Structure 1
Amino acid sequence: MKCPKKTFIGEDVIFDTNYPEDIVIEEGVRLTVGVRIVTHFMNPKTGSYDRGQVHVGKGAYIGMGTMVVKPVTIGEGAIVGAGAIVTKDIPSNEVWAGNPARFIRKR
């Protein structure tokens, strides 16, 4: 996992420990309480892991209790509302929320 010094990581944030190298967190990111970042799932047909990278862009904010599921890129300056389930890319400077996460507005 790559994570610069100016990043805030709140309490009870969980990172996928099987493939931490698949997580990239850029400078100024805020991961609030209870965020989960998952980079793999077990494929029930093969028994092997399906992996994918999670990339969180500079200055992005991820709200409390959000789950981010691979493969996904959260763009620079994006905001993800509390409790969202992120399963697809979020462009820079957009606000997304919900389950599954969906576009709300531009910043």
Structure 2
Amino acid sequence: MDLKEFLDYVNSGKEVESPSEVQEMFDKLLLEAIRIKSKLNCEYHTEDEIREIFAELTSQPVNGTLRLVPPFHTDCGKNIHVGENVFINSNCTMQDQGGIFIGDNVLIGHNACLLTLNHSEDPQKRANLLPSPIKIGNGAWLGSNVTVLPGITIGDGAIVAAGAVVTKDVEPNTIVAGIPAKLVRKVNEK
């Protein structure tokens, strides 16, 4: 299985059986991500070098406006898609096999955790994986220690307060907080 076939499969939302050829590709990409993350996280790099290593990790070009503060963690890297003027603060974790799509002008705080995989509820299939993408709209801001669960869309201009666990889609231009994250108010509404 090549990378394109893998991405086509996981982006289709189909269940990934364990064991399977797709699961074997997960393992292969994990080892590659560990190698590249070690290079990124274990020594000093300029901003340009960080973008270069991130491009290697994602296997796609990275625009010159990305700002990323290591350490950065992922167990794949190949299904992360980043817009213009994105800032990712330190110790962010992106479990991206299901796809992470980040719009323009997005801020992601320290220790944010974006998760795109779930397991089957059926105990007989518990090792199977269920990929589901996360989509973060333009101008969104995820505070420190935010967790975003699989299949979530965060709308344009939304703010997710520090420490929130996002279990449902977030409407554009709203502020959510808490565990689970709930609507606090609209942006700029006092």
- The bucket for the TM-score relative to the shorter chain is over 0.9
Matched, 1:106 2:189: no
CA distance in 2, matches of 1:50, 1:88: 17
**Structure with the larger helix share:** 2
Matched, 1:38 2:104: no
Identify unmatched segments of 5+ residues in structure 2: 1-79
Matched, 1:25 2:102: yes
**Structure with the larger strand share:** 1
Residue of structure 2 in register with 1:6 after alignment: 85
2:150 to 66, 70, 83: 70
**How big is the shift at 1:50?**
1.3
Alignment length, in residue pairs? 105
The residue matched to 1:2 in structure 2 has which SS? strand
Kindly provide the CA deviation profile for residues 6-53 of structure 1, in whole angstroms up to 9, marking residues without a partner as x: 100000000005x0x611000100001000000002225212101111
What TM-score do you get using the length of structure 1 for normalisation? 0.93
**Aligned residue type for 1:100:** P
Q: Are the aligned partners of 2:84 and 2:103 in contact in 1 as well (CA < 8 Å)?
A: no
2:159 to 69, 79, 83: 79
Displaced runs of 4 or more, over 3 A: none
